[in-house]
Chain A
Amino acid sequence: MQISMEVNGDQVSADVEARTLLVHFIREELELTGTHWGCDTSNCGTCVVLIDGVPVKSCTQLAAMAGGHKVTTVEGLANGKELDPIQEGFMQCHGLQCGFCTPGMLMTTRALLDKNPNPDQAEIREAISGQICRCTGYTSIIRSVHWAANKEAEMRETAVSVHAGAVGGGAA
């Protein structure tokens, strides 16, 4: 069957078997191999993508179910050369080692920050509790998310003051 959806801002369409899982559609049809798979029972979370901004385990959805929706994968985080702050945070704080769980972690923590710009440690742990990392021991992932949260707070402040400056017409 023909399945069409928006992926990372682009309209895509492909003719695949109806039983095709979303993770395979993304990896094989769209050749976006940043989304991974690591289990068969929806436990590991290496396949997490965003559907309409919400984290979903793409191994547990038929591609057809995502038809007509907006899918974001790790490849859709950066803006050209400019990394998303969450990606920067993971780099700054050693939030990845082998990198295999990382795309899923990035998507979930990106969605977390979109919903809750200032999560505490318990909230971050809870948000990623459906995903497994065998390398990092999680503390560095929490630091990475905090780093990104702080960076985005700074960016918002700068944006506000720039805006205020513009509006105020140069008044101090």
Chain B
Amino acid sequence: MTVTEPSPGAPAVSSSDVLEDNDQKPMGFGRMLRKEDPRLVRGAGTFTDDIKLKGMLHMEILRSPYAHATILSIDKSAAEAHPDVIAVVTGEDLAAHNLAWMPTLSNDVQSVLATDKVRFQHQEVAFVVAKNKYAARDALELIDVEYDMLEPVVDVRKALDPDSPIIRTDLEGKTDNHCFDWETGDAAATQAVFDDADIVVKQEIIYPRVHPAPMETCACVADMDPISGKLTLYSTTQAPHAHRTVYALVAGLPEHKIRIIAPDIGGGFGGKVPIYPGYVCAIVASLLIGKPVKWAEDRTENLVSTGFARDYIMVGEIAASKDGKIRAVRTNVLADHGAFNGVASPIKYPAGFFGVFTGSYDLEAAHASMTAVFTNKAPGGVAYACSFRITEAVYLIERMVDVLAYDLEMDPAELRLKNFIQPEQFPYETKTGWVYDSGDYEPTMKLAMDMAGYDELRKEQAEKRERGELMGIGISFFTEAVGAGPRKDMDILGLGMADGCELRIHPTGKAVVRLSVKTQGQGHETTFAQIIAEEIGIPTDDIDVVHGDTDNTPFGLGTYGSRSTPVSGAAAALVARKVRDKAQIIASGMLEVSVADLQWDKGSFSVKGDPSQSVTIQDIAMKAHGAGDLPEGLEGGLEAQICYNPENLTYPFGAYICVVDIDSGTAEVKVRRFIAVDDCGTQINPMIIEGQVHGGLTDGIGMALMEMISFDENGNCLNSTLMDYLIPTAMEVPDWETGHTVTPSPHHPIGAKGVGESATVGSPPAVVNAVVDALKPYGIRHADMPLTPSRVWEAMQGNHTAPI
């Protein structure tokens, strides 16, 4: 474990001060410029909507204006008569081929095109295929659908009322809107601690519905070759292999006749994990018509119908001693799953990894219970960098710890430090059965407090409070769990979450590594080259990273839940070691010594004690492919393949501190500073890690202050454009201040833990805690996101309302 100086994330100064070492070109880990950038800065990336195939047609989807309505009739004749329209397809048409419904990733079913009724606003009702986008859009207006409106279920708290309309009339025998119940931990043991505790604090805490909203919406080009029967599907998918297998199961197409190609993806954040009806419709269209068909959703479709995130109403309770020892945590959660259960979680985890709501604290007991319900809203729930519901879990515990601090009148930093799991306790099994691999929390927390100047901030706050000025300091300390996951515990639709990796060294010593994961901006073409370079000593410029195409990459479950580094990164390291081991044997033959007499110097083997006798990896590669004998039992070539089954998840952690100022007249919240210290174990590329953190911190400000997908009482979505779904611009975020500590994962081959979602997980509670802290003079103990000026002002007047 190392404590290091803060990264150069201090307020931006001139470029030369900060960036002398931009072009390090390390042989392995370190700051390295990205291999993907040369094409992206030229606008020469290939995003799915950039793809143009010969004879390609364009598909658009007609969507329901109503949240809950029976479909009485669909008249598509006018649309079909449009000169540029090739086909118009309804749910009835699909039903004739058993394609109107498809499985979700949670073992539920969802409509591809609605047949009996529509169950959320903007649900897919029909699709049009036309010669171009404008004609397809025009044709949508020509389809006449008659609806009989039904009362919608919009208020999640009323979904289980006895008189509530039933949404899932497609499920035999369904008499209510109940989706599932779930619990974890020990209810009795927890109750016993609560009975015994000096103090119990309770608070309802809401994580409203939000949306990943990547800048690129979802899209695909389906190209069914009528002669070979092979489907090539270009699509915005974070999980090409998983999608391919699911399409095979759903559409009855043989798996070897399906090729999924995920080209450059403009952000995923979990929003591009599910299989959406639009993809299936495009495939059907291409199948029917025998031409390529493109579908590219618009922003409203993206916001209103694709996988939302969060939407949990959590009642949290902490039992503690009066001197601030947290003894037990309990929560009951009401979860809004929308009209279909489409969460992309490992199947045995309907609530994802919410079980880590116990946080970074050493507890005597914990229990969580959850009721999930259906409502007339889009399906989803697991998205927007949630690490499978860990955003919700961390928000709950970190908000609750601040509520406890408020009631105990204790400093929230001190309260946390008092309760951290101690380093000698790792690996630490939580009271909900999660085994945290490694952690050393106090130095991370202290570094954040040093960087922030915590004591000076509290002094400043006290002075400002005397003058009636509102300033807040919010802390969040998170432990999250990533890298799903061991085969014995985790699968998605029966597909285990192990990932493959293939490495081949060419005769001239260049390499190609093939990955199962798929980047959407995380820089895998760079970081995976670095992993290989670190292990095998071939320069990153000489390593080609291939991913995204199921025809030439190994099987794996894709990129989400920050799993690429912990799972695929491990696979890459291990496959490189396998190749290196073989290289060592070949080297022993070349140098005529035994394998044990060789020493590795990242890129070459030399004879121990005689460094002049050495061969480079490039020499070995040529020998492997060349003439002459190889050592006994060895085949030619220099390549290997592995499938890595992780033994556990990995547990990155971090300490975040947010400083806000609130205008007491207008209630506008300004984030003055944000200090983030992350520990993701071994760092592959600190530049990329910093970028991941900056992006996630922005998410936190977005959710805490402005983002929400909300509905009126008729189920109409009120945030269906980027004018109404507000995402932070450069004006709303501060100059990030980041630092790091390094506590390697003991079970990961390179000790790395992954970091992609850490900042999205850890930052919302820091911002909310800061706002609530600023409002302390008003006696405010809790306020829910999004803390828009209006909601903050109403809270100041004593009129805080729940956002749902």
Contacts and interface: CB of A to CB of B under 8 A. Distances in A.
A and B touch in the complex (CB under 8 A): yes
Interface of A: 17, 19-20, 24, 27-28, 31-41, 43-44, 46, 73-75, 77-78, 83, 87, 89-94, 96-103, 106, 121, 124-126, 128-143, 146-147, 149-151
Most buried by A among B214, B215, B216, B217: B215
Contact of A43 (B41, B698, B722): B722
Contacts of B697: 137
A17 B694 CA distance: 43
Q: Which 4 A-B pairs have the closest CB atoms?
A: A34-B43, A137-B694, A100-B266, A98-B521
A44 B43 contact: no
B12 A39 contact: no
A41 B22 CA distance: 37
A133 B699 CA distance: 11
Nearest to A138: B730
A145 B376 CA distance: 46
B133 interface: yes
Interface string B705-747: 0000000000000000111000111110101100000000000
B730 A124 contact: yes
Contact of A135 (B41, B521, B728, B735): B521
B9 A139 contact: yes
Nearest to A124: B730
Given A97-B522, A98-B267, A99-B266, A17 B12 contact: no
A143 B134 contact: no
Most buried by B among A35, A46, A124, A125: A125
Contact of A121 (B132, B522, B691, B735): B735
B116 interface: no
Interface in B296-335: 298-300
Contact of A17 (B11, B134, B687): B134
A87 B214 CA distance: 22
A61 B212 CA distance: 28
B669 to A, nearest CB: 17
Contact of A125 (B22, B33, B696, B730): B730
A35 B729 contact: no
Most buried by A among B521, B729, B730: B730
A22 B375 CA distance: 40
B520 interface: yes
B627 interface: no
B89 interface: no
A139 B217 contact: no
Contacts of A106: 41
A133 B22 CA distance: 22
A44 B731 contact: no
Given A19-B134, A147-B19, A96 B694 contact: no
A103 B212 CA distance: 21
Contacts of B214: 98, 100, 134
B43 A33 contact: yes
Contacts of B228: none
Interface stretch (B45-53, B59-67, B507-515, B650-658): B45-53
20 contacts: A28-B132, A33-B47, A36-B215, A36-B266, A39-B721, A74-B41, A75-B43, A75-B44, A77-B42, A90-B37, A98-B215, A98-B265, A98-B267, A100-B216, A106-B41, A121-B735, A124-B730, A134-B269, A139-B12, A142-B12
Contacts of A125: 730-731
Contact of A41 (B11, B215, B723, B727): B723
A39 B299 contact: yes
B238 to A, nearest CB: 12
A140 B694 contact: yes
B99 interface: no
A94 B34 CA distance: 8
Interface of B: 9, 11-12, 14-16, 18-19, 22-23, 33-34, 36-38, 40-47, 49-50, 52, 132-134, 212-217, 264-267, 269, 298-300, 520-523, 687-688, 690-691, 693-698, 721-723, 727-731, 733, 735-736
A162 B676 CA distance: 46
A99 B18 contact: no
B41 A90 contact: yes
A154 to B, nearest CB: 10
Contact of B722 (A44, A93, A96, A139): A44
A149 B12 CA distance: 13
Given A40-B298, A103-B43, 9 more contacts: A24-B133, A34-B44, A36-B49, A92-B22, A126-B730, A134-B214, A137-B698, A140-B690, A150-B14
B192 to A, nearest CB: 45
A129 B731 CA distance: 6
A86 B112 CA distance: 45
Contacts of B688: 94
Given A93-B15, A94-B688, A131 B729 contact: yes
A49 to B, nearest CB: 10
A150 B15 contact: yes
Given A39-B299, A99-B264, A139-B12, A134 B213 contact: yes
A35 B14 contact: no
Contacts of A140: 690-691, 694
B695 A139 contact: no
Contacts of B722: 38-39, 41, 43-44, 132
Contacts of B690: 94, 140
B33 A92 contact: yes
Contact of B730 (A35, A41, A129): A129
A135 B691 contact: yes
B691 A94 contact: yes
Contacts of B45: 34, 99
Contacts of A44: 215, 299, 722
Contacts of B216: 36, 38, 98, 100
B14 A97 contact: no
Given A90-B37, A132-B729, A31 B19 contact: no
Nearest to A32: B43
A60 to B, nearest CB: 12
Most buried by B among A39, A87, A93: A39
A123 B408 CA distance: 44
B215 A134 contact: yes
A75 B42 contact: yes
Given A39-B722, A91-B38, A134 B727 contact: yes
A102 B44 CA distance: 11
Given A98-B214, A98-B265, A41 B37 contact: no
Contact of A99 (B40, B49, B298, B735): B40
A54 B731 CA distance: 21
Contacts of A73: 43
A38 B42 contact: no
A135 B36 CA distance: 15
Nearest to A148: B15
B754 to A, nearest CB: 16
Contacts of B694: 136-140
Contact of A97 (B23, B523, B733): B523
A91 B41 contact: yes
B735 A139 contact: yes
A134 B49 CA distance: 19
Contacts of B212: 134
B188 to A, nearest CB: 45
A134 B695 contact: yes
Given A98-B215, A143-B12, A137 B521 contact: no
Nearest to B23: A92
A132 B19 CA distance: 25
A133 B266 CA distance: 10
A71 to B, nearest CB: 13
Contacts of B18: 143
Given A92-B33, A128-B729, A33 B521 contact: no
B729 A146 contact: no
Given A41-B723, A73-B43, A135 B733 contact: no
Nearest to B696: A137
B691 A34 contact: no
Contact of A132 (B15, B52, B298, B727): B727
